[in-house]
Amino acid sequence: TQLLEQSPQFLSIQEGENLTVYCNSSSVFSSLQWYRQEPGEGPVLLVTVVTGGEVKKLKRLTFQFGDARKDSSLHITAAQTGDTGLYLCAGESSNYKLTFGKGTLLTVNP
């Protein structure tokens, strides 16, 4: 069974601070997706990374896929209150199944 460990589990910061959340596994994934979920809603896809070492930027969010395609990170610069939510990573295995981490619950305080 492939497992994805996300850290930290909870993160509470002030508006304007930077933060990084991590997604780690001992398994290799063919791709990795990041989602954000807000209360009462389903997860929304932020980005997909496919190539080892790949870096993708989405405004203030920077996503990196590890060289060995076993881990990923999400860095947010100058966090805003609108960034509050549950951040989920999901790795795709060779049989196209998605395995989700348990998420990082981010709270950005004004």
Partner 1 sequence: KAGVTQTPRYLIKTRGQQVTLSCSPISGHRSVSWYQQTPGQGLQFLFEYFSETQRNKGNFPGRFSGRQFSNSRSEMNVSTLELGDSALYLCASSPGHGGNQPQHFGDGTRLSIL
Give pairs for 37-42: CB < 8 Å, separation 24+: 37/85, 37/86, 37/87, 37/88, 37/103, 38/84, 38/85, 38/86
Token couple for 81: 């209150």
Of residues 59, 82, 95, 110, which one binds partner 1 by CB under 8 A?
95
Of residues 22 and 100, the one with the C-beta less far from partner 1: 100
- Residue 110 Cβ vs partner 1, minimum distance, rounded to whole Å: 26
Contact 47, 59 (CB under 8 A): no
The contact pattern for partner 1, residues 32-71, with x = CB under 8 A and - = no contact, is: -x-x----xxxxxx--x-x---------------------
- Tell me: does residue 101 bind partner 1 (CB under 8 A): yes
Q: Which is nearer to partner 1, 25 or 33 (CB)?
A: 33
